[in-house]
Amino acid sequence: MEINIEAAENVITEENAQETLTQAQQIGALESVLFVTGEPIPKAEIARVFGLSQLELNSLLVEAESEYEANGRGIRLFVTDETVQLVTNPEYNDWLVKLLSPPQEKNLSDSMMETLSVIAYRQPVTRADIEAVRGVRCEYAVSQLLKQGFIKELGRKDVVGRPMLFGTTDAFLRRFGLHSIEELPPMPEIEEEE
């Protein structure tokens, strides 16, 4: 899905450029931009639109997150290493369930979970690498994970045959409640049989 950055930029006009906005106004403008798009926006795009450095943007995001938490707001920021999105506060999910039918998440099969685990912990990884770890073919699991948006193609490995490299997406992080891949629990040690 393409993000409508032009619509987001229209929220910030020449008269209220970053230099003249207070921090509260910057947070309000950020909230407007995130609300208008409704999708995760790359941090680099937000920094460009607001005329902020990455350090200034990170400071603004920390302040905005603090305000949302301190005031018990119904929305909050979902910040990953690369993107920012306005989402509902999980504390109020019961109210949303009363209003909306709960979304039906497709359960991932065991083979899809195993494949996703290999990709998450070893990314970027090729299909052959996944099959070497799992010991079975994985075309179907990879195609379903791509289709559901949990993994993406990262490019090609610079070896003979140039196989595709796969990695996880922000949808993977959201599904498992992570903000970055570094939050994955450590892999358990596997004892080798003698």
Domain ranges of the chain: 5-99, 110-183
Write down the CATH number for the domain with range 5-99. 1.10.10.10
Judge contact between 111 and 145, C-beta under 8 A: no
Cα 104 to Cα 34, 38, 93, 107, 143: the distances in Å are 25, 20, 15, 9, 20
State the pLDDT at residue 111. Answer: 92
Token pair for 183: 């939050």
Judge contact between 164 and 156, C-beta under 8 A: yes
State the pLDDT at residue 124. Answer: 95
CATH architecture of residue range(s) 110-183:
Orthogonal Bundle (1.10)
> Going residue by residue through the chain (194 aa), what tens digit of pLDDT does each one get?
455 555 555 554 444 444 578 888 999 999 999 999 889 999 999 999 989 999 999 999 999 999 888 888 888 899 998 999 999 888 888 888 777 765 556 788 999 999 999 999 999 999 999 999 999 999 999 999 999 999 999 999 999 999 999 999 999 999 888 999 999 988 776 555 55
Q: Do domains 5-99 and 110-183 have the same CATH topology?
A: yes
Which residue shows structure tokens 């090609």?
156
- Structure letter (DSSP) for residue 105: P
Of 115, 120, 67, the residue nearest 89 (C-alpha): 67
94: exposed, middle or buried (C-beta count within 10 Å: 0-12, 13-18, 19+)?
exposed
Sequence letter at residue 72: G
Facing residues of 174 across strands?
none
For 116-179, the DSSP string reads HHHHHHH-SEEHHHHHHHHSS--HHHHHHHHHHTSEEEEEE-SSTT-PEEEEE-HHHHHHTT-S
This prediction has a pTM of: 0.51
State the pLDDT at residue 18. Answer: 46
